[in-house]
Amino acid sequence: MTTAKTIARRLLEAEAVKLRPENPFTWASGLRSPIYCDNRVLLSYPTIRCEVLDGFVELAKRFENVEGVAGVATAGIPHGALLADRLGLPFIYVRSSAKEHGRRNQIEGRLENGKRYLVVEDLISTGGSSLKAIEALRAAGGKVAGAVAIFTYEFPAAARAFEQSEVLLATMSGYGALLEVAVDQGHISSEAATTLAAWRQDPRTWSETFTRSGS
């Protein structure tokens, strides 16, 4: 089994991912989504946590001259810290915005100008939080070697956003592999997988269509 499918299987085993095409979740934006992903759950399973860390180490090998690791708050912090420890590299993390008290830091830890940081996130949806963190790192004088994550929804818009920001992104697993494993293991039917695949291509239209149908 490929790494992508192995990680997808782990996500399903730990119930970090839930699939509900017939009764979608509602995101903070109001959009309806047939999938919910919370990779924080993986931290509670030592064996899976180690597998994920091994996966991050392998992804890190794809990037040249990595001199530090930067976790994206909050879910990217523990995975980033574990990776930095394994690689023997400095670790920092980036908040979504600067604190409103104290030193008003957005970046915690000691960022060194000109050093190349590997950005660690747990999940890539639109890519907004990761790219915002990358922008903050660059503004503070750091350089970005690339970005890594456990899982991506594989939204076409997210891929374009990383390309436009000139950031190489590598993930352990993605939406396509998850659907394959979910069908193979009987979590969903082939018909449900078709519905889920349509959502990935255009989440907003899928959500609006589901809402109009009165489901």
Annotated binding residues for orotate = 125
The residue among 110, 132, 130, 112 whose CA lies nearest residue 121 is 130
Residue ranges for the known binding site are 95, 99, 101, 121-129
Say how far apart CA 74 and CA 67 lie, in whole Å. 21
| Alpha helices by DSSP H, the chain | 3-13, 46-60, 76-87, 128-139, 156-164, 175-184, 190-201, 203-212
Residue ranges for the known binding site for 5-phospho-alpha-D-ribose 1-diphosphate are 95, 99, 101, 121-129
Q: What share of the chain is helix, strand, coil (3-state, %, to 5)?
A: 45, 20, 35
What six digits make up the tokens of 152? 């991506």
